[in-house]
Structure 1
């Protein structure tokens, strides 16, 4: 900008100075020539008057006159008679040719005052001649003065050098002034340009100061207002972007937006995690190269075809098979123009598992409740049908009804206990003497013992009290020991309890029928029984081990089971003291 402005100024100055110089030179040259002619003509007139008043007695006085005044005025003087004969010439003593035909002589002889420029054959150079009529005593003719044209050219040359010096000086001064004013005028523009560069680099705190009150001052003022507004807008936009990124980052669902050409506009980390990609930045990549899943492609096509939100569920086969829910909707501007498609991926694998577990649980509870209720209702109908009259049969049926009612009671109690552990956790915690709790449970289960089964308890009195709910811990031992006694026809049930690595270690092993290895992974599932007939016969609900596992997990512990069919089963529990 500054260079352009300076070049413009210089061009204008050069044009102005050039035009002025040409005009001044033309007029000055003409003026000098005209004035020179007038001066020499005036000198000729003065010399003519002087010559007329001079007394001429001899021929040599003519020569003396022209020589004296030639030296005085530094000009050439010639006296020419009416017939053209040169009487005297200050430049030579030789007799010159007849000058009657000279232009200036002709004019003077006619009584005119003449000035001409022509080549002098005598002096062999250009001369300017001024001639006037002259008369004295015995002479009538022409008095002519002349000077070499080189003299006038010398004046013109001096004038030319003076003019060039003046022009160069003025041009130099004008350029300096132009540079100064260019800087002065362009400074606000340069400030605006530098400020704009800093703004483009992200510095919105820049501000321009100027004393100008004209259009540039108004431009600077408007620029400062624009910078302030831009800073405010960028702060809002940055804050909104941070909030949006925080929202997207905190979402468990994968979010991705694509444009009309299927290029990714933005996405969150959950999207990369769900489709199991290591790349953190997928922007500008094609969705077809990133998420190679027919369900996602189908949903995208449906949204573009139907122009409405589409929800589909399906599988995603990667390292681990997943069940996903894909929700897609149009991205639309306020003007109604489509920008692309917004896709939300939800990993519903766990939710589907929970739904299946809930469905299985309801089915199992229904079945477990239905079996004793059907039995009870059957016996009641039999009693109503007349069997109640037979005291022996009636008593046996009532005993069976009592057993089934007890089964229902135990089942409901276990379900309620399991629900309570899952929902409420454990708020009633206190230091529990584990050895004392085990002793109480052994005593409680003593009536179920037979002569062929006995319990071995390796009592360790040095065990620290464990912080827990004593009722929960008692239920854990009841369920494990009850199972061990039920499924041990002959042999022993051994209980060990000790501290290991700041953990409470509990081991309960039996020499019972054992469990086949293929069933071990499922024994902690609700209502799962390895031998359903035997379990029901012994009054089991199928919830005992599930309750045990929930209690162990309640205290951040782990439970392992080892079993060999026909040899026995061992349960090992690790409970950390620091919960």
Structure 2
């Protein structure tokens, strides 16, 4: 800014000084010429008067005497143009009747002019007046070479140039001081604006100027304060907005009218398994191709109303999502873009399906024993109760079905209790005691079978922090399952500590199962052999209860089985 001002001032100064110099030189040159003409003409008139009144020895002596006295060339010319006397030469000069100054002087004019002298071969300034003396009429002419005036003009030009240079230096110095004082507030404003552009909103401008620059500085300071307040408010709102986006369990993404992503949250980037920085300011369809979303976006743009849809999106794995699309509108109802909220409802749908399947299975399982009980009761009412042997057999069947129904209800309640994670008191549990108690509990079931339970307690077994009843339920279901599917053979139990884990193994030599069933045996009501399971009184919930207890203690369960060779369950529970 200062350089531009200085350059502008210098141009103005140069123009002003140049015009002043030209005007001064023109006026001075014309003035000197005018003064010279008047002075020489006055000299010629004075010499003419002296010539007319003086008592002359000769014209030549007059010319020589006064030429030396006034420092000019004097020429006396007759009426016919004959040079009577000349102070510069005694030679006979040519007739001067054709000279302009002579012609005009003979006509009675007092003449002063400059022309080229062919006689002297240079330019001369001539002043001529008519003269009269006795019987002589002619012209008194004085002349001076123009070169005599060159020094005067040089001195004038030198004086003007020196004045111009001094004025230029002074004006330049004053311009520099003035532009410095003038541009300092502007420089301060520029620096402050640069600071604001870099994020420094605390910058202030201080000046003593009370005119335009002072008002500009004051306005700039107010603008800086307002901008600082606005930026702080925006930052606070952005922080709140970011916190709100991060706290949302749903994926959020906003796109403009050109389908460019304006912003998103971490949940959405996790959904599409793409870095958030690579999503924002990128075209939406480069990383998301889904017909459901296309339809929703098109419908929102057409109707400018909120639209909700559910559909499947194939991302890293297939997800069921509920999409809510809302138009982003200005006050004038102009659409700025679309806000999409994607809620992952995959787990909800799975739970709903599980609940539906569970209700269906429970209904089916409850219906079977109830139907049997109701059928035998109706038969007894119809008269079979009078036949003692038939009645006794029917009552035994009703008792078995009632027991099965009771077991089913107890297992369902137990599973519900475990899933609710309402754990009872946890205390150091002696696993040897738990295993021994469970083996004694199951002895009646293996009494009529050729099955042996093998267990060798470890003398250095640590107590495991757990609920003893939970551990018993886990072992009862594992061993009961092994007993049901082992008619002849052994059931081996191992319990030991390995690398800060309690490892419990239950292995039998029963009928085993095919590999295709291993991934589903922990599902509720899933049975490998449904006919056999019903015959043995199984509810289909035992292994599901085992799995839930293991997960309750952050453990893992693994099953290995071969058809007709046996099955092995391995449980790892961290201490």
Q: TM-score, normalized by length of structure 1?
A: 0.85
CA distance in 2, matches of 1:257, 1:107: 103
2:350 maps to which of 332, 350, 353: 353
1:258 aligned residue: 255
Q: Quick one: which of 444, 462, 465 aligns to 1:464?
A: 462
Alignment of 1:94-493 (within 5 A): 94=91, 96=93, 114-120=111-117, 122-131=119-128, 144-248=141-245, 251-276=248-273, 281-317=278-314, 320-385=317-382, 397-426=394-423, 428-450=425-447, 452-493=450-491
Count of residue pairs brought into register by the alignment: 574
* TM-score for both structures, normalised by structure 2: 0.86
Can you give the 5+ residue segments of structure 1 that lack an aligned partner in the other structure?
none
Question: Aligned pair in 2 of structure 1 residues 4, 383: CA closer, same or farther (>3 Å)?
Answer: same
Quote the Cα distance in structure 2 between the aligned partners of 1:511 and 1:90.
162
Residues 486 and 538, structure 1, Cα contact 8 Å, conserved in 2: yes
Partner residue of 2:29?
A: 29
The Cα shift of 1:525 comes to 1.1
Q: State the Cα RMSD in Å.
A: 3.6
Q: Would the alpha carbon gap of residues 96 and 261 (structure 1) be closer, same or farther in structure 2, given more than 3 Å must change?
A: closer
User: Residues 111 and 371 of structure 1: is their aligned pair in 2 closer, same or farther, counting only changes over 3 Å?
Assistant: closer
Contact 1:433 1:464 in 2 (8 A): yes
Q: SS where residue 526 of structure 2 aligns? A: coil
Distance 1:496 1:34, change over 3 A: same
Alignment correspondent of 2:550: 552
Query: Taking structure 1 as reference, are residues 162 and 427 closer, same or farther at Cα in structure 2, changes over 3 Å only?
Result: farther
| Shift in Å, 1:465 | 0.4
Offset of 1:345 from its aligned partner?
Answer: 3.3
1:464 Cα deviation after fit = 0.5
Q: Pick closer, same or farther for the CA change 1:562–1:117 going to 2, 3 Å.
A: closer
Given that 1:425 and 1:554 are in contact with CA atoms closer than 8 Å, whether structure 2 keeps it comes out as no
In 2, Cα distance between equivalents of 1:189 and 1:522: 80
Greater mean deviation of Cα atoms: 137-146 or 485-494: 137-146
User: Are residue 71 (structure 1) and residue 68 (structure 2) matched?
Assistant: yes
**1:422: how far off?**
1.5
Matched-pair contact (CA < 8 Å) for 1:269–1:280? no
Counterpart residue number, 2:495: 497
Check the 8 A contact 1:54/1:136 in 2, yes or no: no
In 1, distance between residues paired with 2:456 and 2:146? Answer: 147
- Cα 1:158–1:361 change in 2 (3 A) is same
Q: Cα distance, 1:293 vs. partner?
A: 2.6
Q: Relative to 1, partners in 2 of residues 1:118 and 1:280: Cα closer, same or farther, differing over 3 Å?
A: closer
Name the SS for the 2:279 alignment partner.
coil
- 2-structure distance, mates of 1:32, 1:319: 103
Q: CA–CA distance in 2 between the matches of 1:178 and 1:126? A: 46
How many angstroms does 1:472 deviate by?
Answer: 0.9
Asked if 2 retains the 8 angstrom alpha-carbon contact of 1:563 and 1:569, the reply is yes
Q: What is the distance in 2 between the residues matched to 1:405 and 1:412?
A: 10
The one-character-per-residue Cα deviations of 1:360-387 (angstroms, maximum 9, x if unpaired) are 1111112222233333334444455555
In structure 2, the gaps of 5 or more residues are none
In structure 2, distance between residues paired with 1:42 and 1:366:
148
SS in 2 for 1:420: helix
Where 1:424 maps in the other structure, the secondary structure is coil
Per the alignment, residue 523 of structure 1 pairs with 521
Comparing 156-165 with 106-115, which one deviates more in the overlay? Answer: 106-115
Tell me the SS of whatever aligns to 1:460: coil
Deviations 1:123-177 (A, max 9, x none): 4444334456778899887654432233234423432333234334433443443
